[in-house]
Amino acid sequence: MNDHSRRSGGFTPGRVDVISMGCSKNLVDSERLLRRLRAKGYHSVHDSAEPCGEWVMVNTCGFIGDAKEESINLILQLSEAKAEGRIGHIAVMGCLSERYLAELEEEIGEVDLWYGKFNWNLFIDQLPDRSSQLPQEPHPWERDLTTPEWSAYLKISEGCNRFCAFCAIPLITGRHTSRPRQEILDEVRHLVAKGVKEFNIIAQDLSSYGLDLSGESQLAQLIDEMASIPGVEWIRLHYAYPADFPMEILDVMRRRPNVCNYLDIALQHIADPVLANMRRHIDKEGTLRLIEEIRRRVPGIRLRTTLMTGFPGEGEKEFAELLDFVRTVRFDRMGAFAYCEEEGTWGARHLTDSIPEEVKQQRLQQLMDLQEEIALELNTELIGSTVRVLIESNDPSDPDSTATGRTQWDSPEVDPEVIVSGCTARPGEFVDVHITGAQPFELLGHVVDSTQEDSRN
């Protein structure tokens, strides 16, 4: 069924719009939902600009205030569309409804079906079967990718046991639960067979993978086995936790050429009073020692981190210490945000959010201005070098087309791009690029002439 079957002025029977809010972990859940809808004979569409389905499923985010507000506003907009007959029914799933189900049910009566983060399969069970063939139940991990066909997020665990003072994730997801290693490897083989080359490994707490399965970290073993699968070109690690970091993964990263020299590890702060208030289970000395050891074991590694301004206990001295930390460590990639108190968290119950919002935002701007200077300096150092780039957009038939791509040090959507001239490669192909220019969050270059390279060797 396609959009041409849409009834004039009404919704499209047999179509289900799925709209994803929030993070890549939510996106994976949406992709699994899309696969099950297809198996049941429905035409499912992801993130349409104009939803018109018999059903619209909203996969909500409930992490911070702005994300919660965005999810609620979307549901209210869809309620209007339902009242006008532009869509049929509304269903809601995800983090927001997992945490606030009772309140949402009472306040937004236009929603037909509510689910949390983990029971959305019930939605599939409640839909009538539209398939003309005997349905074949997909594996639990099967999904219809919404990312480019050569790239996929791979969620290896759910939940978190850390209970940092500012974070509501454990209140939503529950305790940390690792997926069985063999199940993950089966999924990787399945995705490789479909053309996926790049795997972005995600979890709320990457460092704890396997602890609930065997009492010890299995991250290094998992990534090592994944790297052995033919067709896996890039593996990139996201959302490690600094306390109890599994050092063995660094040896795998150094030894395996298809494990990217990239690590996303959220540090949040460096001043001891703030780290203690945050309940981060690590202090300044331990953080600096960890960074030093990571860089020693994996020369050339690029580190991405996330930092926070304005958490209780951050005075002028502590913020100056944070700026000095960023200036000294020189992170390759960095994001930051101002503290926003989340109800139910340890911080909301036990600490006073006394720093004015304008002070938080001023500090945030200072921090990001400093990082922009560092990013430009680090990118400038790459001028004259040759890097391998995964092309993401290009029109090979147009000789004037400019391609864009990413290096192994750049995660999709959040990290810099490489603007490539003279590129005839198709999206999803790798090329060697000579870097000729740099901006804070962008590299410029041209494709290396392989014949000239051969004559030089």
Question: Residues 73-123: pLDDT tens digits?
Answer: 999 999 999 999 999 999 999 999 999 999 999 999 999 999 999 999 999
Residues of the chain with pLDDT under 50: 1-8, 451-457
Average pLDDT of the chain to the nearest whole number: 93
Q: What is the pLDDT of residue 431?
A: 97
Question: Residues 378-398: pLDDT tens digits?
Answer: 999 999 999 999 999 998 777
- Only one residue has tokens 């759910």, namely 158
Q: How far is CA 247 from CA 84, 145, 449, in A?
A: 57, 32, 39
**Close Cβ partners of 147 (under 8 Å, ≥ 6 residues apart):** 27, 153, 412
CA proximity to 46, closest of 3, 17, 88, 4: 17
Cα distance between residue 417 and residue 427, in whole Å: 14
Q: What are the start-end ranges of the H helices in 162-279?
A: 169-173, 181-193, 211-214, 219-227, 248-255, 272-278
Q: What is the DSSP letter of 384?
A: T
Centroid of chain to Cα 194: 21
Q: What is the pLDDT of residue 256?
A: 98
Cα distance between residue 337 and residue 166, in whole Å: 12
Q: Report pTM.
A: 0.93
Q: What is the pLDDT of residue 67?
A: 81
Question: Residues 55-80: pLDDT tens digits?
Answer: 999 999 987 778 888 999 999 999 99
